[in-house]
Amino acid sequence: MEHDFKNILSDKTSGSAELFTKLFRYFRKKISAGNSIEQEIIIARRQLGHFAEIKNHLNKLSKTLKTKEQEYILSYLSSTIKLEKKTYDRIFNELPDYIKNYKKILTLSNSKTILEVIKRWNKLNSKLRVKVLYSNPGGEGKLLSDKLKKHGINSVVIPDTSIQKYIKKADLLLLGCDIIFKNGDILNKTGSRNAAVVTRNLNKSVVVVASRSKIIHADNFKIIGRDESEKQFFERVEKELITHLVTD
């Protein structure tokens, strides 16, 4: 197994959208060099298939490979990667206008979708202030906060235990997700449900942003993951706790 591929499979700090991009860029590089990716797809489906976006895109890629036409396969991979930017544009545009007027955001984990939405939000409102929960286990919140700072966005990491204190000062809770279930529930990083409950108890908005590729046509999903410990990283958030579920 190649080193780059191993790194993607073992990456437990990137969100599913970021993992998908890394994976498809790796596949494009392999196909460009005239190499096969069928075995890697099988492995990726087994180890990363609990991410709905990755599973859905791998299924489409498998169908594309059946053409055995290198140029067509490369075109598919490139266009799928490029569509990502348009997806984030559409998600941001679908946010309710009153939400875009908010200046104080509370979020958690390390979501590429959250990053891209906030980047667009900041262009509209340069006074944006973001608080990011540390997000144990894993502490991915610090990674997201560092990325936001690199884009000139005011961002501070806060302890997970301080959710009650900071949501009182925030305008809303902004979440990404790894799965959108058929019934409208979502699956996201552990800590999301508690954050949503606290937010709704204070009559504030819980806004979830995610691409439509994360929708599955089922109400349940078994997390297999890369190892047994990965199950602790995810939890379900019921649709009743979500004020707005915004997709492309």
Average pLDDT, the chain: 93
pLDDT tens digits for range 221-236:
666 555 656 667 899 9
Highest-confidence segment of 41-55, 150-164, 224-238:
150-164
φ and ψ of 23, to 5 deg: -65, -45
Distance between CA 92 and CA 86 in Å, rounded? 10
Distance between CA 241 and CA 232 in Å, rounded? 21
Coil, strand, or helix at residue 64? helix
Distance between CA 99 and CA 201 in Å, rounded? 19
Q: Where are the alpha helices (DSSP H) in the chain?
A: 3-10, 16-32, 38-48, 52-65, 70-94, 97-100, 112-124, 140-150, 163-167, 192-201
Model confidence at 50, pLDDT cuts 50, 70, 90, reads confident
CB atoms within 10 A of CB 6: 11
Chain position carrying tokens 């073992």: 10
- Of the two residues 68 and 203, the one the predictor is more confident about is 203
Residue 1, pLDDT > 90, answer no
90-246: CATH class = alpha beta
Q: What is the pLDDT of residue 150?
A: 97
Distance between CA 45 and CA 47 in Å, rounded? 6
pLDDT tens digits for range 93-141:
999 999 999 999 999 999 999 999 999 999 999 999 999 999 999 999 9
Q: What is the pLDDT of residue 232?
A: 77
Residues paired with 189 in a beta bridge: 234
Q: What is the pLDDT of residue 11?
A: 93
Residue 179, pLDDT > 80, answer yes
pLDDT tens digits for range 72-81:
999 999 999 9
Give me 235's structure tokens: 């939890």
Distance between CA 169 and CA 179 in Å, rounded? 29
How much of the chain, in percent, has pLDDT values that exceed 90? 85
Q: What is the pLDDT of residue 230?
A: 67
CB atoms within 10 A of CB 195: 26
- Of the two residues 171 and 233, the one the predictor is more confident about is 171
pLDDT tens digits for range 9-35:
999 889 899 999 999 999 999 999 999
DSSP class of residue 41 equals: H
HSE, side-chain direction, 13 A CA sphere, residue 203:
0
